[in-house]
Amino acid sequence: MSTHAPVVAPTLQDFEAARQTVADVAIVTPVLHNHFLSTELGVDVYLKAENLQRTGAYKVRGAYNRMTKLTSDERARGVVAASAGNHAQGVALAAAKLGIKATIFMPNGASLPKVNATRGYGAEVVLTGSNFAEALKAAQEYTKESNSVFIAPFDNIDIITGQGTVAMEILEQVPDVQNIIVAIGGGGLAAGVAVATKLEAARQGRKIKVYGVQSEHAAAYPPSLKAGKLVEIHTTPTIADGIAVSKPGRVPFELIQANIDKVVTVSENEIAKALLMLLERAKQVVEPAGAVPVAALLSGAIKPKGTTVAIVSGGNIDPLLMQKVIQHGLAASERYTNISVMLPDRPGQLVRTAEAIAAAGGNVVEVVHTRHGNALQISAVELNISVETGGHEHRVRLMKALKDAGLNPKLNEPRVD
């Protein structure tokens, strides 16, 4: 039996007040009509570009809304937060704007651009622990020792209300919206968006659906919603590290449970393909966690009817990770094909293989030729070839051309490390 009192949801007046508050620090981000998605899905699809927000993500909205409510005594004591990136920058900027000392705990190995950006906003950054959980523990211990105020990333009603201002903007920018799709980690953004949307829809006397999306490697909400209580899961590494949370926040969970229409999950391949599509077709730099709503649309996990807005919640991606994800997205879209071919160790075999690929219109970008390996016979060599292809049909033609040339090619499936 829970000892917590039921969560009191914010009102429309609360969201309007928060909107006026966060206007001091957050910009009204654009909604961008996406022709590619609209054509693919047969409905108008817009992107709410929070990747263009100050600090590169929506997080500054909730952090600022929360911190404006601190008393003068609390402000004098300073604030503490734990984050792998976006919440850190949001708290740091809010603190700078309000003249509050901020200490941010980030795990060792956190993205260097995010660490530098957080420091750039004037916060003291403490790198500790090997993951977010260890950094969070250190932050909570420091909060007690220093008598500071801990700024939670999502499990706080003022944070949630601040994040919900995203929905208030969408409802003005796309007045005929019928579906809003939002990523879920701990649930702060999704809770705020769901509550604000449902309140405004009820006021207008119509229905607007709100869908949540999680990475299938860190999907604590589906089992929690099914059980009707908080369920902690074992997460596995995901490129969408910004939403890799093993247990829902208590406050956002209750609000999501009461207001969201459906929560779906997407795979690593689907996230990578979405990120690549956003880069190529929308010209938007988006982090993997911010791309999951688009991944849900591209994969068919969500098949909306009517005008749809996908919230692109952040754009803070490490360039090295972007390089890996783009390559993976190309492979998942069958535009970058890696093939292994076993050949007899005699002259002319490489030429024979290259001619078959050229005949099929493939462009070889890398070749690895080896005589070593436990699986190789003494008289055999292995060719590992990376080829630019134009999609599924082109890949099929390429494989057929190799087989027609008397070769035995094997596809190497893409993998996310």
Set out the domains of the chain in order of their start, with CATH numbers: 12-59+157-330 (3.40.50.1100), 66-150 (3.40.50.1100), 334-412 (3.30.70.260)
The pLDDT, as a whole number, for residue 375 is 55
pLDDT band at 3 (very low <50, low <70, confident <90, very high): low
C-alpha–C-alpha distance, residues 268 and 8, integer Å: 36
Residue 339 β-bridge partners: 385, 411
What burial class does residue 323 get, using C-beta atoms within 10 Å of its C-beta: 0-12 exposed, 13-18 middle, 19+ buried?
Answer: exposed
Give percent above pLDDT 70 in the chain: 96
Going across the sheet that includes 79-82, the strands are 124-127, 102-106, 79-82, 149-150
C-alpha–C-alpha distance, residues 221 and 223, integer Å: 6
Q: Of 180 and 345, which is predicted with more confidence?
A: 180
The pLDDT, as a whole number, for residue 143 is 97
Nearest to 213 by CA among 234, 189, 182, 187: 182
Q: What is the mean pLDDT of residues 98-102?
A: 97
Instruction: Indicate the DSSP class of residue 54.
Output: G
- Look at residue 376 and tell me whether its pLDDT is greater than 60: no
